[in-house]
Amino acid sequence: MINAGIIGAAGYSGAELIKLLLNHPETEIIKLFGNSSAGSRIEDVHSSLRGMISLEIELFNPDALEDVDLIFAALPSGQSMTVVKEVCSAGIKIIDLGGDFRLSDTSSYSQYYKHEHTAPELLKDAVYGLSEWNEESIASAKLIANPGCYPTSILLALIPLLKNNLINDELISIVSYSGTSGAGKSSSPSMMFTEVNESVRAYKAGNHQHIPEIKQYLEYFGSNVKFSFVPHLLPVSRGIYSTIHAAVKEGTTEKEIAESFNSYYGDKPFIRFLSKAIPEMKDVIHTNFCDIGFKLNEGGSLVLFSTIDNLVKGAAGQAIQNMNIMFGLDQTEGLLNCTKKKLLKIKQ
């Protein structure tokens, strides 16, 4: 049994972690930590958890980690560095759902996240937790940098084609859309219902904090890509939808594109390649799936479509998928259990 603790339990990703871990047969949540919510019980902070779990949220203290095997840190950027350092010093594995350990370059981190990095010595130990592409390194890691939600949807769609040299890397246009939960529990007036309802708007065009992450890992897994990235806010609670425009190499066929995805993802349980069908965001909400489709137009113009749930595959679900890899479990454990039970009932 994996004894798990969650730092940042009162946030959206923290609540999602709790719900998913309660369905995990090999994990027990034994510690919940928070700041402003410390002293409250988790079921009072998230009323949807009533009757499911009852634990008091504590202020984080390294002395409280004695029986913990793994920590999930679900904190805003800039707040994970100190606790990650303390957890690592205690010899406990940790998965950081924030952005503090995704970038290898501290100057890029400071530029895009607007914080100075106070634990640069740990960056060399941080493993990027893109589950489908870094499984071997994840399995032996002590510190996982869980990918951002936008980069997850983008990288999973682009890497197979870049690795097979099927698309030009001169300029790739990425337009993504997110539900409002991607901003966390923000009190900003711009996130109020009356401001986002019945509207769509771009934001942080050219300076979004996920730009250096996308660049670093497109280069790591693929090639030196030039791209533009424009995120948009949707008037929905959750979900990510990315539409990616690229030019294919001369002579590239639909069959080659499909074969690339099938060869890399045929045995990956959470990638649903839809071929020429266009995915819909509603089909991935509350799941750990990434649905990918494509359209090859005349003249070699390729459009990729990729959609995930930002709180599951883009955060808590991928973190649990990484936990499963770290502890030698099936990647689907705790993430497909409900589906498996339904299938067993049908067979009986």
Active site residues: 149
Pair 93, 4: CB distance under 8 Å:
no
Maximum CA extent, the chain: 63
Contact 148, 204 (CB under 8 A): no
Supply the angle between the helices 106-113 and 211-221 in degrees, to the nearest 10. Answer: 150
Residues near 185 by beta carbon (within 8 Å), at least 6 away in sequence: 10, 11, 12
- Would you call 244 helix, strand, or coil by DSSP? strand
Q: Which of 7, 33, 233, 203 is closest to 98 using CA atoms? A: 7
Distance of CA 248 to the CA centre of its chain: 27
> In angstroms, rounded to a whole number, what is the distance separating the alpha carbons of residues 130 and 20?
19
For residue 125, give the amino acid letter: D
